[in-house]
A and B are shown apart, each in its own frame.
Chain A
Amino acid sequence: MLNYIIKRTLWMIPLLIGISLISFFIMHLAPGDITNNEASFNPKTSAESRQKLRELYNLDKPVIVQYGLWLKRMVKLDFGNSFASHRKPVFWQTTDKDGNVTKGMIQEALPITIIINVIGLIITLVLAIPLGIIAARKHMRWQDKSITLFNFIGFSVPGFWLSLMLMYWLGVANDWFPISGIRSLNHDSLSTFGQLKDTLSHFFMPVIIPSVTGLASITLFVKSGMLDVLHQDYITTARAKGLNEHKVVYTHALRNALLPLITIVGLSIPGLIGGSVISEQIFAIPGMGKLFYSAVMARDFPVVMGILTIGSALTLIGNLIADIAYAWADPRVRRGVIKG
């Protein structure tokens, strides 16, 4: 098992290099760099200053040289500094000689995206597991069919459209939830409970929308897993032994049906991070998606590269953890019946 983990971890290095190479060349595929932003299209600004900026950031060098420079820094885990945001460090905070701490851009953005996605995932699971069980137990009956239809509608609805509709309905027409941002302006002066409530109410819409749209696949997964398990010999045996039906379903069947879910959750990480772009843009949430979108639009190359690298690394780690967790949870693998 340990060997396996080490091998998998080492595999991540060439994969990450491959990812960074693809990302870097895509980024430099088309013309346009940091000096082409809308602010610089002002007749009061001079062409010379733009050229100087380009030289400063090595943008005048061939792409392969720029990649070499980037890789050289990355070996030291130095993600560099943003072009567009007053040279803020891309990844982690730095302290200057006067003791001023400048937070890293990803350092600030990543936790927000992760928290929202984790809450979203928990809600999805909390809803999807019971729905999946009901659908499996009432297979082909009206409960199953209405759950399926409901899920499919959630799965097919354009998330940003639903977001706007909900924003209008819950935020403007009715004054129930805040529309954008992650906390109120007076957040700091609230009590601890007040702060919690404030944060949760801001997270409500951004969290509920991906949960609804993500519900279908997990429900379907639980349902088919349950159907699968419910027809297996040991369940039939358990029933034949006269065990309570609830006990059969919830202790024997459910555990086995949920096992593969670990993998699904691990594999869904890139989708969750990627899906945050539009939602964070609409709800004004300062997470990875919004950061990425503005970095792409501003051609802020170090930030784009940093996010792609971190996002990919997280995906790889997520997959690895999912595999390990699966192996650990599956008694057959643990006992060495199946090779990990």
Chain B
Amino acid sequence: MNKNLLFKALNNPLSKAGFIIIVVVFLLAMLAPLIAPYDPDDINVKVILIAPTWQHWMGTDGLGRDVLSRMLFGGRISLLVGLVAVGISTVIGIILGAIAGYYRGWVDTVIMRLVDVMLSIPSFFLILAVIAFLTPSIINVMIVIGLTSWMGVTRLVRAEFLSLSGREFVLASRALGAKDARLIFTHLLPNSLTPIIVSSVLGVAGAVLMESGLSFLGLGVQAPQASWGNILTDGKDYIQFAWWLSLYPGLAILITVLGYNLLGEGLRDALDPRSNLK
């Protein structure tokens, strides 16, 4: 990524906060095996649904498992789902967008019509249907979110390619006989990377929310594996009683998504030439 861009973005206190949030959340999730006070799968039927105490900072769940430990380990799953799903959509988006923007002609038409088709189907309906029909699992959730959210990146990359390919340095290297692949990978792609990164950061926020929504409907990450979405789902029937089961995962999702959104918008602002106008 463009270093200047990140620095510029971090000048803004809101995006700085977003950046710090994400770093902290990732550290906590990565260090889960070291800092989790209990084994997240360790059942103890004698301490079912205990409110937060000094032994269990975030209380226990319906099988007496420590919620804090499950939150830390569940965070790994939730963050992973977000990253992989967006990774998939970004890769697909870049490939299709690059093909459409570079080769143009009928390939471009076909790809862009496919984009139109995909954008016209209410995406949550599509995701819901696919997941339900494919049987829910972490892998399927990641793949399906990825496969249904690549259209934005495709449009972005295509537009960048279209505008870049008219620039002098591209025309020059083409005149010098550069091969397609070389042109794409050394000139066009690196120059369109920044907007892709911005859209991906915002995409992760959407994917994390999507996972929690799917889990809420019972179509997300499946028990006994912990994710923030399904800890919350476990607790939803007792929201007035075992509030710790819904409050903490809800806050964790909120804070993480907030972090991504703040950082993403900060990057977008820094990228936007208009923000220099003031």
Contacts and interface: CB of A to CB of B under 8 A. Distances in A.
Q: Is any CB of A less than 8 Å from a CB of B in the complex?
A: yes
Contacts, number: 146
A296 B129 contact: yes
B265 A220 contact: yes
A274 B258 contact: no
Contacts of B42: none
Contacts of B163: none
Interface string B240-278: 100000100010011101100110010000001010011
A31 to B, nearest CB: 9
A22 B255 CA distance: 36
Nearest to B237: A164
A105 to B, nearest CB: 15
A179 B128 CA distance: 25
A316 interface: yes
A152 B129 contact: no
B232 interface: yes
Chain B interface main SS type: helix
Contact of A30 (B113, B135, B253): B135
Contacts of B87: none
A278 B261 contact: no
B117 A18 contact: yes
Contacts of B258: 152-153, 156
Interface residues of A, number: 55
Interface stretch (B61-69, B88-96, B209-217): B209-217
A27 B117 contact: no
B124 interface: yes
Given A158-B212, A161-B246, A227-B274, A278 B130 contact: no
Interface string B215-253: 011000000000000001000100110000010001001
26 contacts: A19-B117, A26-B129, A29-B130, A30-B133, A30-B134, A152-B14, A152-B261, A156-B258, A157-B250, A157-B254, A157-B257, A164-B239, A168-B239, A224-B274, A227-B274, A231-B278, A270-B119, A270-B120, A275-B124, A277-B217, A278-B213, A278-B216, A304-B129, A312-B122, A315-B119, A315-B120
Interface of A: 14-15, 18-19, 22-23, 26-27, 29-30, 32, 139-140, 145, 148-149, 152-153, 155-161, 164-165, 168, 172, 216, 220, 224, 227-228, 231, 270-271, 273-275, 277-278, 281, 292-293, 296-297, 304, 307-308, 311-312, 315-316, 319
Return the 4 tightest CB-CB contacts between A and B, nearest first: A274-B124, A274-B122, A156-B257, A156-B258
